[in-house]
Amino acid sequence: MATIVDDHFMVCADCLMIIANDDATGLDHFLDEESAAAREREVRLSIAAAQRDESYIAVGDSERDEEFSTASCDCCKTTLAGSRHHCVLMT
């Protein structure tokens, strides 16, 4: 049975895209190819670090998303303001 470790794990749009769909193709919409590849590596490393000890991140309740936030992303720790999406960290 899964156990909730953090029910308020708020992630940026970059992290959500990879957590939800394992898809980073949207990164190259705003970044050049080299920057997009670097950002993808950064996000994937952050996700792997958050999912250590057999935990995993699940997409949460979209009703709890924040359209605009200045809080850092709980996954990659970016401090760029923007949307934050509710996820749940579970074991």
Report yes or no: 10 and 87 within 8 Å, Cβ to Cβ: yes
Q: What residue segments make up the domains of the chain, in order of their start?
A: 4-90
pLDDT number for residue 2 = 87
Spatial CA neighbour of 13 closest among 84, 90, 87, 76: 84
pTM (predicted TM-score): 0.92
pLDDT number for residue 28 = 87
Q: At what angle do helices 13-21 and 33-50 cross, to 10 degrees?
A: 70
pLDDT number for residue 40 = 97
Spatial CA neighbour of 87 closest among 14, 19, 3, 2: 19
Spatial CA neighbour of 57 closest among 80, 72, 73: 73
pLDDT number for residue 90 = 95
Tokens of residue 51, six digits? 């999912």
Tens-binned pLDDT, residue by residue, of the chain (91 aa): 889 999 999 999 999 999 999 999 999 888 999 999 999 999 999 999 999 888 999 999 999 999 999 999 999 999 999 999 999 999 9
